[in-house]
């Protein structure tokens, strides 16, 4: 059965698109037209603009396009959403927003003490790993999935915890929590270890965990989060099996495997970038030392000649 039966609003979320467009317009106003109001401002680079707009575009694809609707039909697609929303969008947005804006935000009296606490690397790592694992406990997951306000609040908490986790890895501010060199690799590996048990339980279970993908009534209630009530009431639907050829246990296992694959791919890219940055810094340091040694030798030769 095609998902087009749910209508344009359910498929493309025009109100959500409008909000993201407004956020993007505000971003360019602040970073281009109003940047003179910020201390230490720098011109917006093409790279920063590309990173931010990529993050916003990906955010819409994940939560505003048919991908979001499929996320309520297939657990596999839900895990794709989670992987991209928590592992790729946050670093794109952090790197896309200029440092002087982050500095102004993080130094607000209300924000500074809490932000400094929650971005401590080990605490940020543990909180993010716990938030992801706790959300995917079947009882919690099904309860959250059937209440629109709670679902929105939990998604905000998850996304915020992901931003806090990525902050020590990709931020460029001086005097704040961040890792350098090989410590970043250990930090990234730490999250991989923390989320593995939850993914393993999902992958190797012999029975489906989640009622919102197996029970018709619970599924319809969860679908009401993204499908207008009037549209849903006109459709004669029994469950997600109408839209997929996979069994629920196959869908669940595929979802767990997909999460781990995307996580490993994202982390591989960042690990390569971290290693490249570390190697470049080492080479720069070596070049500086070599240049200093050569200069010292020249100075010694000059003094001997004059003597």
| Sign (positive or negative) of CA dihedral 282, 274, 122, 104 | positive
CB-CB contact of 169 with 187 (8 Å):
yes
Residues of the chain falling short of pLDDT 50: none
Q: How many CB atoms lie within 10 A of CB 273?
A: 13
User: What is the model's pLDDT at position 273?
Assistant: 78
pLDDT at 300: 64
The pLDDT value recorded for residue 106 is 92
DSSP symbols for 199-264: HHHHHH-SS---GGGT-HHHHHHHHTTTS-HHHHHTS----GGGG-SS-HHHHHHHHHHHHHHHHH
pLDDT at residue 285 in the model: 58
Tens-place pLDDT, residues 194-217: 888 888 999 999 999 999 999 989
Going by C-alpha positions, the residue among 210, 296, 140, 270 that lies closest to residue 304 is 296
DSSP letter assigned to residue 172: -
What pTM does this model have?
0.88
pLDDT digits (tens, 9 = 90+) for 139-190: 999 999 999 999 999 999 999 999 999 999 888 887 777 776 678 778 888 8
């Amino acid at each position: 059965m095609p998902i087009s039966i749910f209508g344009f609003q359910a498929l493309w979320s025009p109100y959500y698109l409008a909000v993201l467009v407004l956020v993007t317009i505000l971003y360019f106003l602040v970073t281009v037209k109003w940047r003179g109001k910020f201390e230490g401002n720098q011109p917006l680079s093409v790279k920063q603009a590309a990173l931010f707009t990529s993050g916003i575009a990906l955010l819409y694809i994940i939560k505003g396009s048919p991908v979001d609707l499929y996320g309520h039909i297939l657990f596999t697609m839900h895990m794709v959403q989670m992987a991209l929303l928590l592992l790729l969008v946050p670093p794109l947005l952090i790197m896309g927003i200029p440092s002087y804006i982050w500095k102004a935000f993080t130094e607000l009296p209300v924000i500074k003490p809490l932000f400094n606490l929650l971005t401590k690397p080990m605490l940020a790592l543990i909180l993010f790993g716990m938030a992801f694992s706790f959300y995917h406990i079947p009882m919690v997951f099904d309860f959250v999935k059937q209440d629109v306000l709670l679902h929105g609040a939990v998604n905000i908490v998850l996304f915020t915890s992901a931003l806090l986790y990525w902050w020590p890895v990709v931020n460029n501010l001086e005097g704040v929590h961040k890792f350098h060199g090989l410590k970043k690799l250990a930090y990234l590996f730490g999250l991989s270890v923390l989320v593995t048990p939850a993914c393993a339980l999902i992958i190797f279970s012999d029975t489906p965990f989640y009622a919102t993908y197996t029970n018709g009534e619970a599924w319809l209630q969860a679908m009401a989060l993204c499908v207008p009530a009037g549209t849903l009431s006109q459709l004669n639907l029994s469950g997600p099996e109408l839209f997929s050829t996979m069994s629920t246990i196959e869908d669940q296992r595929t979802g767990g495997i997909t999460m781990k694959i995307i996580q490993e791919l994202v982390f591989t890219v960042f690990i390569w970038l971290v290693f490249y940055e570390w190697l470049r810094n080492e080479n720069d340091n070596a070049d500086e030392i070599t240049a200093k040694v050569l200069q010292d030798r020249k100075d010694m030769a000059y003094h001997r000649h004059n003597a």
